[in-house]
Structure 1
Amino acid sequence: MSASSRLFALLALALATFAPTAVFARAAPDSFADLAKRLLPTVVNISTSQTLKAPPQNAMPQLPPGSPLEDLFKNFLGPKPNTPRHVTSLGSGFIIDPSGYVVTNNHVIEDSDQITVSLQDGTQLPAKVVGRDTKTDLALLKVSPKKPLPATKFGDSDHAQVGDWVIAIGDPFGIGSTVTAGIVSARNRNINAGPYDDFIQTDAPINRGNSGGPLFDMDGNVIGINSAIFSPSGGSVGIGFAIPSNLAREVTGQLRQFGVARRGWIGVRIQQVTSEIAEGLGLPTTQGALVAGVTDGGPAARAGLANGDLITGRY
């Protein structure tokens, strides 16, 4: 075999070896247009209003009795009426049931007196709060439409991988429904926002007003609820955070059924086992957790746990 023939054979082998890799790689989409067209009707804009009562103002200076300036100051600087002040805010949400259930962030609707949901076609519907959970910053609303609404569904956020394409839809700054695209930048991100810090990070542009809106995968399933951004300026710098859909599905399901999020409770108080505690109690190890208190009638008490018990794991 000539040198040129051997070179051709090696090139052919290389192409045959590496070609299948491209088959399994998910290429960047040429366009998000079809996906956006399908998903836009499932996303809503949320506006809220809140009435704040201003405290009475009294800027009257101390004047001697009978001062000729007393009437003048009363007219111009006397106590002002308790004039209420109306505050409005904007956010986003998405429909998870054709009957009118809408998911959003709790901070979007917290303390509001009135909530209005605006659909993609411009229809405005009053909404009531079915339930909300401050620990996960999630809320479930209900509107009463005249006909079934287009709805989306939760995907499996555990399947989201760093580098996957995603699109975010919301109402940034109240300008109207807006679609942006990016990738999953990181998973399990802790931003010190609460006890359930396990955010999906994305570089899809998210701004004020996007809160409560969905983060979609390329199959059109919600894998996150856009909730926060990191920004020195207040605008998007490509660092946004979304609540994973698996957590949102569980919490909103409980909000729909019970009005609150129910969490596990075993009725026990524990403390770390230090070397001093282990020596004082004659414990063989500092590993595990020491039962420091048991609630009467609670699950732990019914299971037989008592003060001084050492809880260890088996591996």
Structure 2
Amino acid sequence: MNHPFYKRATIAFCSVWIFLMLAAGHAFAADLPDFIGLVEKNAPAIVNVQAVTSSKFPSSSQFPGSGDQQDVPEIFRRFFGPIPPGQQPRGERHSAGSGFIVSADGYILTNNHVVDGADQVTVRLSDRRELDAKIIGTDEQTDIALLKIDAGGLPVVSIGDSTKLRPGQWVVAIGSPFGMDHTVTHGIVSAIGRGYDRSQQYVPFIQTDVPINPGNSGGPLFNLSGEVVGINSQIFSNTGGYMGVSFAIPISVAMNTMQQLKENGHVSRGMIGVQIQNVDRASAKALGLPRSGGALVNNVTAGGAAEKAGVKVGDVILGFDGREIVGSSDLPPIVGMTPPGTKSQLEIFRNGKTMKLAVTVGELPQGVQGSNSPAVAKAPSANPLGIQVEDLTAEQRKQLGLEAGGVLITAINGEAARRAALQPGDIVLMVGRSSVDSAVAFNSAAKALKPDDSVMLLIRRDDVTSFVALTVPKAEAQ
């Protein structure tokens, strides 16, 4: 190996290897996007938002960003700018976030949770001016707030089309994490159309891996063309800080909300009047669907648009106005964005067949639903599913708001029912597509089932109804 030939060969090989590595590195670097132009163009339109609220609570530790972060549960966290311990004024709550200018005359978009309930809002511009802002309107459902400052000739962002986003695209965030204005972070779109929070069921969130932290809330998410495609809103974290999963509100949703707030002072949403749930594999088998998917209807509002269109409990909604409904979370944003009064079309699956129904979209009313807690019945009846039920009393029906139908579960003896998380106190409204109004009717329907049959039970618990799929085990069949 000490022969001059081997030395020269080794040197030549290493030289070629180093050259190839440098060339590959140069080619890789050349493929990476350059964010400098995007940032220089848009940074002047990004603002810092400070809000002060007269606290009605005894302790500031109740708010994210203050106090011990270890006390904050592992949930989706909203972003409030952290106030150092001991520096938060007594009787006040301070929150901070980001925002961006959408019109030269001073309209600004941010998150509702940044300014919610605020008595005073201050906006700090890129030139360090601090101006008082007026809250034009807010919408809790989409977490959008529209602000207005008294200024003119302001720099503005360009608005993009969030419906064209695809997983894998580069995106850039600019905001004020921890109060550090105009901080730039980047990443890719991880997923689109995420629905996870019933309080914001009308928002098909954009999931990214862009580093987002407290103070980024309300800031813009840009595509590589320098257009705003989303508003950074939430993270998933068990520490209070960034853990690789961030969520943004699509700009299409935000601009629709903004326009309605400017014109009407509130937001109107479409509604068809159904309660829905996902279709899992067991449910698909019981329903005769070729695959899991769609939104399973477990309740239809009396007199609502869906009832008038002929939708029934047990139907699976597969499409709305030509758009596929992959899961139940897909339907609310699509219907919510449809103007009330619009004539639309539902594609549904019923009894092994696909059909289309014409529906006139109604308007979502403002209000809060209550809940009922059923009393537990006294004497059980048995059935082959391993579920003991009893007729509802008049008092129980009154508590539940039920005029007719339903039996009360008093005990669970079957393994299949236990795996389905059924429990005493649940109300069974339907077995398959048949309503049951007595224990006799329920037991009769259950006895008709054969071993390995799959059946859907419509269950009411508190004020929520949902379908549960059960497969009859051989040991429990009769």
Write the mapping of 1:297-308 to structure 2, written as runs, cut at 5 A: 305=308
The residue that corresponds to 1:37 in the other structure is 40
The residue that corresponds to 2:71 in the other structure is none
Q: Secondary structure at the match of 1:97?
A: coil
Q: TM-score, normalised by structure 1?
A: 0.68
The residue that corresponds to 2:259 in the other structure is 253
CA separation of 1:85/1:290 partners in 2, compared to 1, >3 Å: closer, same or farther? closer
Q: Find 2:302's aligned residue among 293, 308, 313.
A: 293
- Answer whether contact 1:51 1:84 (CA < 8 A) is retained: no
The residue that corresponds to 1:48 in the other structure is 51
The residue that corresponds to 2:234 in the other structure is 228
Determine the C-alpha separation between the residues in 2 that align with 1:233 and 1:310.
Answer: 44
- Answer whether contact 2:274 2:297 (CA < 8 A) is retained: no
Q: Please report how far the alpha carbon of residue 289 of structure 1 lies from its aligned counterpart in structure 2 after TM superposition.
A: 8.8
Determine the C-alpha separation between the residues in 1 that align with 2:96 and 2:311.
Answer: 50
Q: Which runs of 5+ in 1 are unaligned?
A: 1-25, 56-82, 273-286
Does residue 243 of the first structure (1) align with residue 249 of the second (2)? yes
Determine the C-alpha separation between the residues in 1 that align with 2:128 and 2:245.
Answer: 30
Q: Please report how far the alpha carbon of residue 194 of structure 1 lies from its aligned counterpart in structure 2 after TM superposition.
A: 2.0
CA offset digits 1:6-30 (Å, max 9, x no partner): xxxxxxxxxxxxxxxxxxxx9421x
The residue that corresponds to 1:9 in the other structure is none
Q: Find 2:105's aligned residue among 71, 74, 99.
A: 99
Q: Secondary structure at the match of 1:250?
A: helix
The residue that corresponds to 2:145 in the other structure is 139
**% of aligned pairs identical?**
45
Q: Please report how far the alpha carbon of residue 197 of structure 1 lies from its aligned counterpart in structure 2 after TM superposition.
A: 4.1
The residue that corresponds to 1:28 in the other structure is 32
Determine the C-alpha separation between the residues in 2 that align with 1:225 and 1:90.
Answer: 15
Q: Find 1:151's aligned residue among 156, 163, 166.
A: 156
Q: Please report how far the alpha carbon of residue 54 of structure 1 lies from its aligned counterpart in structure 2 after TM superposition.
A: 6.5
CA separation of 1:290/1:106 partners in 2, compared to 1, >3 Å: closer, same or farther? closer
Determine the C-alpha separation between the residues in 1 that align with 2:226 and 2:93.
Answer: 35
1:142 counterpart letter in structure 2: K
Q: Find 1:174's aligned residue among 156, 160, 179.
A: 179
Determine the C-alpha separation between the residues in 2 that align with 1:227 and 1:41.
Answer: 21
Determine the C-alpha separation between the residues in 1 that align with 2:156 and 2:203.
Answer: 27
CA separation of 1:84/1:124 partners in 2, compared to 1, >3 Å: closer, same or farther? same
Determine the C-alpha separation between the residues in 2 that align with 1:270 and 1:186.
Answer: 27
CA separation of 1:294/1:98 partners in 2, compared to 1, >3 Å: closer, same or farther? same
- Answer whether contact 1:290 1:310 (CA < 8 A) is retained: no
Q: Secondary structure at the match of 1:294?
A: coil
Determine the C-alpha separation between the residues in 1 that align with 2:275 and 2:122.
Answer: 47
Determine the C-alpha separation between the residues in 2 that align with 1:162 and 1:310.
Answer: 34
Determine the C-alpha separation between the residues in 2 that align with 1:184 and 1:292.
Answer: 37
Determine the C-alpha separation between the residues in 2 that align with 1:251 and 1:152.
Answer: 17
The residue that corresponds to 1:190 in the other structure is 195
- Answer whether contact 1:187 1:198 (CA < 8 A) is retained: yes
Determine the C-alpha separation between the residues in 1 that align with 2:182 and 2:275.
Answer: 50
Quick one: higher RCO (CA 8 Å, sep 6+), 1 or 2?
1
Determine the C-alpha separation between the residues in 2 that align with 1:252 and 1:310.
Answer: 33
2:262 counterpart letter in structure 1: R
Q: Which moved more, 1:37-46 or 1:150-159?
A: 150-159
The residue that corresponds to 1:164 in the other structure is 169
CA separation of 1:209/1:264 partners in 2, compared to 1, >3 Å: closer, same or farther? same
Determine the C-alpha separation between the residues in 2 that align with 1:159 and 1:54.
Answer: 44
2:138 counterpart letter in structure 1: R
Write the mapping of 1:76-115 to structure 2, written as runs, cut at 5 A: 85-115=91-121
Determine the C-alpha separation between the residues in 2 that align with 1:220 and 1:48.
Answer: 28
Q: Please report how far the alpha carbon of residue 294 of structure 1 lies from its aligned counterpart in structure 2 after TM superposition.
A: 2.4
Write the mapping of 1:66-85 to structure 2, written as runs, cut at 5 A: 85=91
Determine the C-alpha separation between the residues in 2 that align with 1:270 and 1:205.
Answer: 37
Task: Tell me the number of residue pairs that the alignment of Structure 1 and Structure 2 aligns.
Answer: 237
- CA RMSD between the two structures: 2.7
Determine the C-alpha separation between the residues in 2 that align with 1:181 and 1:163.
Answer: 12
Q: Secondary structure at the match of 2:196?
A: coil
Q: Please report how far the alpha carbon of residue 157 of structure 1 lies from its aligned counterpart in structure 2 after TM superposition.
A: 0.7
2:168 counterpart letter in structure 1: G
Q: Which runs of 5+ in 2 are unaligned?
A: 1-29, 59-88, 277-295, 313-345, 348-354, 357-478
Q: Secondary structure at the match of 1:38?
A: helix
Q: Please report how far the alpha carbon of residue 41 of structure 1 lies from its aligned counterpart in structure 2 after TM superposition.
A: 0.6
Determine the C-alpha separation between the residues in 2 that align with 1:53 and 1:253.
Answer: 32
CA offset digits 1:175-207 (Å, max 9, x no partner): 222111111111112232521241111111100
CA offset digits 1:100-144 (Å, max 9, x no partner): 000000000001100001100101111111111001111111111
Q: Secondary structure at the match of 2:159?
A: coil
